Each structure stands twice: as C-alpha cells, then as structure tokens.
C-alpha cells in the first residue's frame, strides 16, 4: 500500500512538472493525485478511522484555502479600485536592478509583518502592474518567492511553521528575530546579487498603452487601499489576541472591506457597483490555483497519516546523528512535501527536554523549513500562489530559480552556523 501511494504521489508530481509538455492542466493532475492517494489508503488499509483522518486533514487544508481565498479577494478588490497605483506612482526608478532590490527588500520585511503568503499575493499583483516584459516578470516573481519565504522565516508570524514552533514553546519572539534575521537576509541577498549581475537596462515605457477610464475617485482609491492594507495587517494581530486560526481574521477583514465598499458605492448605478464589488473580485479570483492547492495538500496529507513522513524522519535520524545535516535535508524535503507535517513530525521526535526552548536546533529548523520551500515553486504556499497568479511553469522555475534559491539556502545555513560559533 505504501509503495503504491508513493508511486502515485511521485507520478503526480512528475506530471505537474511536465504540465506544458503533456498539455494537461496541473490542477487536474493535483486533484487526481490527491484523491487517488486517499483511495488507495482507504481500500488497502485496515484502519477504521480513515474517514475521520480525511475530515481532519480537510479541516487543516480548508483553513489554508479560506485564508488564501480571503487574501486574494482583498487584493483583487484593491486592484479594482486602482489601489496599487498609489505604490506604483511612487516607484520612480526605471532601472531594472534598482526596482528588483526595492521589490525584494520590501517583500522581505513585509512578509515578516504580514506573512509570506499574503505578501506574495500583494507583491506579485503589484509587479504585474509595473513590469510588462513576461520573461523579466517571471524572474521578479521568482525572487519575490525567495524573498517572501526568507522574510517569513525570522518572524513568529511570518510563516506557518515558525508560528507552530512559537505556539509550541520551541522558540520565543526575541530569539527567532535576533538569531535568524541575518541568515534570512543572507538567504535573500546571495541570489539577489547573482540575479542583479545578469539584469541590465530599464523598464519598457508604458505610455502607449490604452488608458482605461475609471469611475473611482482618488478618495475612494485611498480609502479602499489603506482599509485593505489595515485589514491584512490586522490578521496576525487577531490571531495573537484570540488564538483563532488566521483564516478567521482574514474572513473578518474581508467582510469589513466588503461592507465598506458597499457603503461607498451605494449611490452609483448598478453597472458601476458591479465592476467595483466583491462579487466581481470573487469572479476574477484564480479558482484553479485554489483547487490545485487543495489537491497537493490532500496528497501530502496521506503521506502524513500513513506515517511515511515520520518514517523518512526516523530514517534520516538513523543514518546520521548530525542535526545540522538532518535539518538541512528536512528543508530540502519541504520543497517536495508540505513543511507543516514535516515540522510536526520533528516536534514529535525531539521533545523540549532534549532540546530546550530557543536552542540552535529549533532556530535552524525554523530557518530550513521556512526557506527550503523556495527550491520548488510548489514547495511553499507563496510559490503555489505566485504560480497561479502569473502562470509560471514548474519547469521554468526549476531551471532558472531553483539553483538561486539553493545558493541562498546553503549560504543562510552557513551564516547561521558562523553566527552561532562567533556568539558562543
């Protein structure tokens, strides 16, 4: 049974990677892979709790999907009101190099305040307004993924795995920020420096593009933009105060922004209201990407519930006792499977009486699990969201971005080890 599940899982990933070669949409492959893995588990397992496990897994997946849908709808609503032009108009540089640095550094620090998924959605949407060359845009998006995951790793609310470790008592806020901000920054700066050397010239002027007349006033534009931004910033604060899942805060922010836009546009005619409504934003939302995410997470859930991930962790622990090597490999594996069950398995294997709170083991685990997902475009929630928004092929990312992400990943680990050695 386990062999069959692994074969189906690997074949599914292969077909997703070959999406443009076989001309089959990755969403269809992901959904088939997820359902087939659970079907094999249900048919050949002797467990009587498979349905219960599936519903539990669906609960975890749904929380991520609702969060993603809420964030994407808020961003679409801001975009419908030309809110991103407020940022675009203030980016004066036409230099590709300078713009890349501005976008990546802004993503890095913003993802620590929001989270890497929300930040990626915002920044990818923004860069779509500024960069018109498709190849250049894909490079920018690839770097945004690296920057978002690196930025999320050094904040307790920047990535779901760091949040897990923070809530579980493995790390504290001051320790994760103080000891990971430099390695995380190195993880970004190394690939950023490499890409900078290969980017030349200025952005193409957009003066000849068609100017679309809008019915949104400057006041409405600012109100919706800043309200949406406050709503996104409210999510981590809501989670900290209530201890409810982040998607609850996101849905509350979406509901508040929905109410606000209904009140703002209540006196306009029906056609204008329709163009600026949440209903139109929901229509524009990339549903195939949400379903793709669903299929991938369901497939990974089978690996978690059948004990395959725990088996991999135990196998690695039996091969080597070097915890740095183990955690580094965990980070690479997190590019293939979801980092949440990997971190959960690690937390179960290594109790706090073995590694105390804020030990180097937990800090490095937070870094590796947070940044390792950048190695593949489907290795992190940020990557999956960007893949859906800009239709970036799996193979293109593997060829052009993976090696950059790996260089930053290795450099970040080495800088962490050097930092720990100097501080000790």
The parts of the chain modelled with pLDDT lower than 50 are: 207-212
Distance in angstroms (rounded) separating the CA atoms of residues 376 and 367:
16
**Phi and psi angles of residue 210, each rounded to the nearest 5 degrees, phi first:** -65, 130
Give the CA count within 13 Å in the CB-facing half-sphere of 282. 9
CA distances for 1 relative to 5, 39, 144, angstroms: 6, 11, 39
Residue 8 lies in a domain: no
Residue labelled with tokens 């690690």: 346
- Residue 202 has what pLDDT? 79
Are 191 and 198 a contacting pair, CB within 8 Å?
Answer: no
Partner residues linked to 95 by β-bridges:
202
Q: Which two tokens stand for residue 114?
A: 């929001």
Residue 82 lies in a domain: yes
Partner residues linked to 202 by β-bridges:
95
Are 269 and 61 a contacting pair, CB within 8 Å?
Answer: no
Our count of domains for the chain comes to 1
User: At a CB cut-off of 8 Å and minimum separation 6, what does 224 contact?
Assistant: 77, 78, 81, 83, 257, 260, 261, 264
Are 330 and 350 a contacting pair, CB within 8 Å?
Answer: no
Are 230 and 241 a contacting pair, CB within 8 Å?
Answer: no
Burial of 402 (0-12, 13-18, 19+ CB in 10 A): middle
- Residue 208 has what pLDDT? 46
Are 118 and 71 a contacting pair, CB within 8 Å?
Answer: yes
- Residue 267 has what pLDDT? 80
- Closest by CA to 232, choosing from 104, 64, 115, is 115
Distance in angstroms (rounded) separating the CA atoms of residues 342 and 26:
24
Neighbours of 397 (CB within 10 A): 25
The pTM of the full predicted model, rounded to 2 decimals, is 0.77
Distance in angstroms (rounded) separating the CA atoms of residues 360 and 68:
32
Range of the structural domain that residue 128 is part of: 56-203+215-423
- Closest by CA to 303, choosing from 77, 72, 20, 6, is 6
- Residue 359 has what pLDDT? 86
Are 165 and 343 a contacting pair, CB within 8 Å?
Answer: yes
Distance in angstroms (rounded) separating the CA atoms of residues 290 and 132:
25
Provide the CA 155 distance to its chain's centre, in angstroms: 14
In 265-357, which ranges are continuous DSSP H helix? 270-275, 278-284, 287-305, 308-319, 323-333, 339-349
- Closest by CA to 143, choosing from 392, 332, 367, is 392
Residue 208 lies in a domain: no
The 3-state DSSP class for residue 280 equals helix
Neighbours of 107 (CB within 10 A): 30
Residue 44 lies in a domain: no
Residue 10 lies in a domain: no
Distance in angstroms (rounded) separating the CA atoms of residues 282 and 70:
9
End-to-end CA distance of the chain: 48
The 3-state DSSP class for residue 336 equals coil
- Residue 214 has what pLDDT? 56
Provide the CA 168 distance to its chain's centre, in angstroms: 21
Distance in angstroms (rounded) separating the CA atoms of residues 63 and 78:
23
Residue 145 lies in a domain: yes
- Local structure of residue 203 (DSSP, 8 states): P
Question: For residues 320-350, b (16+ Cβ closer than 10 Å) or e, as one string?
Answer: eeebeebbbbbbbbbbbbbbbbbbbbbbeeb
Tens digit of each residue's pLDDT (9 = 90 or more) over 254-296: 999 999 998 988 888 787 788 888 888 888 777 887 888 788 8
Are 333 and 340 a contacting pair, CB within 8 Å?
Answer: no
Residue 159 lies in a domain: yes
- Residue 192 has what pLDDT? 95
Residue 277 lies in a domain: yes
């Amino acid at each position: 049974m386990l062999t069959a599940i692994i074969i189906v899982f690997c074949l599914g990933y292969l077909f997703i990677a070959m999406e443009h070669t076989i001309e089959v949409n990755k969403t269809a492959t992901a959904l088939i892979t997820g359902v087939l893995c659970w079907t094999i588990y249900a048919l050949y397992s002797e467990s009587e709790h498979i349905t219960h496990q599936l519903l539990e897994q669906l609960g975890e997946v749904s929380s991520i999907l609702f969060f993603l849908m809420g964030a994407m709808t808020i961003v679409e609503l801001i975009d419908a009101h030309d809110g991103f032009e407020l940022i675009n108009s203030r980016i004066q540089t036409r230099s590709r190099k300078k713009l890349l640095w501005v976008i990546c550094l802004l993503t890095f620090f913003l993802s620590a305040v929001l989270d890497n998924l929300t930040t990626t959605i915002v920044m990818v949407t923004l860069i779509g307004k500024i960069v018109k060359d498709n190849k250049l845009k894909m490079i920018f998006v690839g770097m945004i993924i690296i920057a978002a995951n690196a930025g999320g790793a050094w904040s307790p609310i920047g990535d779901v795995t760091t949040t897990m470790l923070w809530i579980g008592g493995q790390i504290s806020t001051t320790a994760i920020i103080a000891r990971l901000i430099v390695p995380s920054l190195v993880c970004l700066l190394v690939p950023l420096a490499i890409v900078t050397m290969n980017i030349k010239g200025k952005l193409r002027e957009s003066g000849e593009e068609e100017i679309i007349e809008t019915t949104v006033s400057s006041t409405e534009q600012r109100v919706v933009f800043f309200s949406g931004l406050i709503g996104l910033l409210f999510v981590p604060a809501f989670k900290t105060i209530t201890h409810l899942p982040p998607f609850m805060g996101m849905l509350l922010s979406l509901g508040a922004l929905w109410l606000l836009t209904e009140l703002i546009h209540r006196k306009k005619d029906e056609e204008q209201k329709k163009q600026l409504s949440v209903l139109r934003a929901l229509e524009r939302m990339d549903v195939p990407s949400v379903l793709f995410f669903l299929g991938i997470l369901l497939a990974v859930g089978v690996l978690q519930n059948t004990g395959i991930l725990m088996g991999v962790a135990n196998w690695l622990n039996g091969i080597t006792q070097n915890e740095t090597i183990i955690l580094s490999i965990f980070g690479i594996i997190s590019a293939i499977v979801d980092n949440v069950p990997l971190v959960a398995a690690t937390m179960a294997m290594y109790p706090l009486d073995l590694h105390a709170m804020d030990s180097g083991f937990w800090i490095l685990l937070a870094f590796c699990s947070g940044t390792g997902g950048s190695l593949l475009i489907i290795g992190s929630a940020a990557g999956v969201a960007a893949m859906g928004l800009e239709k970036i092929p799996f193979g293109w990312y593997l060829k052009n971005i993976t090696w950059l992400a790996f260089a930053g990943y290795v450099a970040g680990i080495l800088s962490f080890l050097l930092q720990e050695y100097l501080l000790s």
